[in-house]
Amino acid sequence: MPDLLGLLSYGTFFLVFVTIYGLVVLGLNLQWGFTGLFNVGVAGFVAIGAYTSALLTAPDYPDQIGGLALPIPLGWLGAMVTSGLAAFIVGVAALRLRHDYLAITTFGIAVTLQLVALNAQSLTGGPFGLQFIPKPFADVIADNLAWNLAYLAMAATLLGLSYVALERLVRSPWGRVLRAIREDETAAESLGKRAFRFRLQAFVIGCMLMGLGGALYAHFVGYIAPEDFLPILTFQLWTMLIVGGSGNNRGAVLGAVVVWALWTLSGNVLRELVPAEHQARAATLQVVLIGLLLMLILMVRPRGLLGEEAVVSRHMKDSAGEVQEE
């Protein structure tokens, strides 16, 4: 007899993570799917958001900087600002690089950030991380399930707002330039577009969403540590985008659902099947599984579950006639 309440509780927990990942993948989709920016440092920008919001909102931490006990919305806003600022600095320095070179650079930056989190004890709490990150409306809603549901509603609202805003942007002339740059930067520049400025804007906005995702994660779990932001996180998020469909915002969210479902499901199955002493090793099978999924998608549906739409400017719906699907 399945425990319905337990199932509901588990489902809520699962969906909160999906919405948080979905938010981050939307940011990545703006960068890669629409602008062609190869950002492999996603985990770093998620971490900046998570740590910023924690430091701004948590009660005073003894022996370390931060713990300003500010209201939670301010923490989230701060997370976006800090991630955006970091993206701006990284962008000015590195966005003149292309393709694999940008990938290597952003990857290095994310690894560096993770090491800073691990070692700058007076700021980040070092390997012990940051605890007592306040949970919003925890003082009003005592029941655990109800609180999870409330958090889910709020995270889903933020995801929805971001989705609507991004859809509006990518179907605007601004988004059209992004796609032109993705398709052929030299041609876009020969048509008078200052590519660097657009690349920087897309990079900063995408990283702000990643920062917000990090903050939502921090306040949901209530505790963050450097090991939450390892390169494997970047790998998972990229897989979500590629599986779902790069260049398609609905695909980005769908990818988050599919990949996270597979991840948790495989984790549970492995826990059931593998004897306790081999569990740590079995856990790495999850990574293998995700890798296999990625390869399978690339071979069978290289454009992802939902491929890119032949997007036309949102102002053109009436005159352009049918929007064509691949």
Partner 1 sequence: MLTAQSITKTFGGNRAVDEVSFTIKEGTITGLIGPNGAGKTTLFNCLAGLFPPTSGSLSLEGERIDGLSPDRIFARGLARTFQIPRPFPEMTVLENVMVAPLHQRGERFWANWLTPGRVAAEERTLAAAARHWIDFVGLSHLADQPARVLSGGQRKLLELARVLVAKPRLILLDEPGAGVNPVLLDAIVDRIVSLNRQGVTFLVIEHNMDLVMNLCSPIMVMAQGRLLMAGTAQEVRDDPRVVEAYLGGAPA
User: 3-state SS of 152-181?
Assistant: HHHHHHHHHHHHHHHHHHHCCHHHHHHHHH
Contact footprint for partner 1 (CB under 8 A) = 168-169, 172-174, 176-177, 179-180, 183-184, 186-195, 201, 247, 308, 310, 312-313, 315-316, 319-322, 324
Identify the residue whose tokens are 């064509």. Answer: 324
Compute the least distance from the CB of residue 311 to partner 1, in Å.
8
For partner 1, the closer of residues 143 and 324 by Cβ is 324
For partner 1, the closer of residues 8 and 310 by Cβ is 310
Count Cβ atoms below 10 Å from residue 10 Cβ, excluding itself: 14
Compute the least distance from the CB of residue 190 to partner 1, in Å.
5
For partner 1, the closer of residues 8 and 165 by Cβ is 165
> Do residues 87 and 35 make contact, with C-beta atoms less than 8 angstroms apart?
no
Compute the least distance from the CB of residue 205 to partner 1, in Å.
8
Compute the least distance from the CB of residue 323 to partner 1, in Å.
9
For partner 1, the closer of residues 193 and 250 by Cβ is 193
Q: Which two tokens stand for residue 274?
A: 């593998």
Compute the least distance from the CB of residue 88 to partner 1, in Å.
14
For partner 1, the closer of residues 46 and 252 by Cβ is 252
> If 0-12 CB within 10 Å is exposed, 13-18 middle and 19+ buried, where does residue 100 land?
exposed
Handedness of CA 80, 117, 284, 38 (dihedral sign): positive
Between CA 226 and CA 206 the distance in angstroms is: 22
For partner 1, the closer of residues 21 and 32 by Cβ is 32
Between CA 206 and CA 31 the distance in angstroms is: 6
Compute the least distance from the CB of residue 174 to partner 1, in Å.
5
Indicate the SS3 state at residue 81: helix
